[in-house]
A and B are shown apart, each in its own frame.
Chain A
Amino acid sequence: MIAVFFPTSLPPAASIEYVNDAELVVRARQGDTAAFGELVDRHRAAVYRAAHAALGSANEAEDVAQEAFLAAYRKMDSYRGEASFKTWLLKIAWRQALTRRRRLVSRWRRFVSAGDPPEVPSAGAGDRSPEATLIDAELVGHVQRLVRALPARLRDPLLICADGEQTYHEIAAVLGIPEGTLKWRVAEARRRLKDRLVRLGYRDE
């Protein structure tokens, strides 16, 4: 007996890997959760890093990233396409992270005396990158402490730009400040850090 295989009449499954964000947004609005899942995968790292920059804690950043994606899904109808989907998403994540940070700071203030600044959790020594190990573990530790001591208006732009994946234009839109202001704040933050490192005895070689 000869088995004959006929091609099925089903259309080929449309791959969403090569579909752009705008098309995925359209599909997600129509209830296609797989399309939204693809958006989650594409922008997961950016959202997580923005939340991490604001909160300084991996656990809190994970929670905020999840909440941000959920909020984006529920507010999908309000996305008008004026900015890229990624920028719109990062704005939501940033606002949620700042709300969470305010709540954490007020909780800390209840337990910590008024004179002590709230200690933002830092990355552990085990997370040290090979690059940082090569430079100087002690120096990197100093820099991180100094970064945490910066005022939020300088610290936030510095950290969110450290990712290196977003343009100044995108980050300025996320933070809601002019691009020139953003650049000035990043430069000012770096200048202050280097000044303080020099005062600690490090040489700018």
Chain B
Amino acid sequence: MNKLDRAVDAALREMVAGDGPPDLRRRVLARIDEPARRPAPTWLVLAAAAGIAVAVASVALLRTTPDREGVTPSVRPPARVLPVAPPAGAPVAAASTHVPTAPSAPAPFRPGRRAPRRGEAPPLAESVVDVEVEPIELPPLDVVPLSGEPIAVTALRIERMQIEPLAESQR
């Protein structure tokens, strides 16, 4: 073995020299006898989990809001607004089979498809084109006229009052 090999060996042995602390056994056994560390209480774990869930939900909501600038709108079919059935007894409006739709969101960007230019109507989503919606038929409403007995109103009569003048001592 040459000089450099011997130097390398000597340097390495120096760098990892030692047998460890002689009282390691005592230290380890003392730690073993210690009571185990108590885990975090359940309520703390649950509170932390709830906090994380709220944070994640908030971030997810913010990311799916389509009106923000510079954010690609989420892929959602346009929501349909269905007419609400009028309450019984209310005057019947003209029954209409027209189903209004909410303004459609711009089509999401898809790789390989040309993005719509400004002023150009965005293509409808395939799900909107293909779906046929049957008109909602409302049953005719029967309006019963009000029938009440006539009310007799008695004339109000006020008795004449007599006022006596006060005596001198009462003034």
Please say whether chains A and B are actual partners in one complex.
yes
**Residues of A with Cβ closer than 8 Å to B?**
33, 36-37, 40-41, 44-45, 47-49, 52-53, 56, 58, 61-62, 65-66, 69-70, 73, 122-123, 127-129, 131-132, 135-136, 139-140, 143-144, 147, 158-160, 162-163, 190, 193-194, 197-198, 202-205
Taking a contact as CB atoms under 8 Å apart, the answer to whether B17 and A65 are in contact is: no
* Smallest CB gap from A139: residue in B: B7
Taking a contact as CB atoms under 8 Å apart, the answer to whether B28 and A162 are in contact is: no
* Smallest CB gap from A193: residue in B: B8
Taking a contact as CB atoms under 8 Å apart, the answer to whether A135 and B17 are in contact is: no
Minimum CB–CB distance from A177 to chain B (whole Å) comes to: 19
Known: A33-B29, A37-B28, A127-B14. A44 touches B19 (CB 8 A): yes
| Interface size range on B against A | 20 to 34
Taking a contact as CB atoms under 8 Å apart, the answer to whether B16 and A140 are in contact is: no
Taking a contact as CB atoms under 8 Å apart, the answer to whether B15 and A123 are in contact is: yes
Taking a contact as CB atoms under 8 Å apart, the answer to whether B28 and A135 are in contact is: no
Which residues of chain B are within 8 angstroms of A205 by Cβ–Cβ distance? 2-3
Taking a contact as CB atoms under 8 Å apart, the answer to whether A129 and B10 are in contact is: yes
**Residues of B with Cβ closer than 8 Å to A?**
2-21, 24-25, 27-29, 31-33
Known: A143-B8, A193-B8. A41 touches B25 (CB 8 A): yes
Minimum CB–CB distance from A24 to chain B (whole Å) comes to: 13
Among B2, B3, B12, residue most surrounded by chain A Cβ atoms (within 10 Å): B12
How distant is the Cα of A114 from the Cα of B1 in the complex, in angstroms? 40
Which secondary structure characterizes the binding site on chain B?
Answer: helix
* Smallest CB gap from A203: residue in B: B3
Minimum CB–CB distance from B133 to chain A (whole Å) comes to: 60
Minimum CB–CB distance from A21 to chain B (whole Å) comes to: 15
Q: Quick one: which of B6, B9, B17, B27 contacts A123, CB cutoff 8 A?
A: B17
How distant is the Cα of A143 from the Cα of B21 in the complex, in angstroms? 27
Extra contacts, 13 of them, besides A122-B15, A140-B7, A194-B4 (Cβ < 8 A), are: A37-B25, A37-B28, A40-B25, A123-B14, A123-B15, A132-B10, A143-B7, A144-B15, A159-B16, A193-B8, A194-B8, A197-B4, A204-B4
Minimum CB–CB distance from B106 to chain A (whole Å) comes to: 45
Which residues of chain B are within 8 angstroms of A73 by Cβ–Cβ distance? 28, 32
Taking a contact as CB atoms under 8 Å apart, the answer to whether A136 and B16 are in contact is: no
How distant is the Cα of A56 from the Cα of B16 in the complex, in angstroms? 8
| 6 examples of A-B residue contacts, CB within 8 angstroms | A47-B20, A123-B15, A127-B17, A143-B11, A144-B14, A162-B15
* Smallest CB gap from B21: residue in A: A62
Known: A66-B24, A135-B3. A58 touches B32 (CB 8 A): no
Taking a contact as CB atoms under 8 Å apart, the answer to whether B15 and A53 are in contact is: yes
